[in-house]
Amino acid sequence: MKLIIAVVQDKDSNRLSNALIKSNFRATKLASTGGFLRSGNTTFMIGVEDEKIDEVIGVIKANCKVRDQLVSSVSPVGGTTDSYIPFPIEVQVGGAAVFVLPVDKFEHF
């Protein structure tokens, strides 16, 4: 048995949750915050048998898309660090960070 931990952007969370349910996979959803953009994420914890790992990863891949987003970056004016002006830069967000971990024991009550 394995534990799949998938960190996805909030925009993909409901779509992924519905797809997992439709595919008969049970998951626990946790609210989380990303460190890079400090934006909302959802972390899914999914326990599956070894032979179902590729199927779950396929569901995640199909429902969590990478997209471009403009974010404000702060840059010093005139080379000093006393004054800053924000300017937008484009970064890629979304997709999923997926970890597959071994499970020594699982019990459900």
**Span 13-29, pLDDT tens digits:** 999 999 999 999 999 99
- Please name every residue paired with 61 in a beta bridge, in sequence order, or none if there are none: none
CA–CA separation, 80 vs 59, rounded Å? 48
89-100 pLDDT tens trace: 666 556 789 999
Helix residue spans in 10-108 (DSSP H): 10-22, 53-63
* Distances in whole angstroms, Cα of residue 12 to Cα of each of 30, 83, 105: 14, 37, 30
Please give the model's pTM, rounded to 2 decimal places: 0.75
- Binned at pLDDT 50, 70 and 90, residue 3 comes out as very high
Rounded Cα distance between 52 and 64, Å, is 19
Looking up tokens 């660090």, which residue turns up?
A: 81
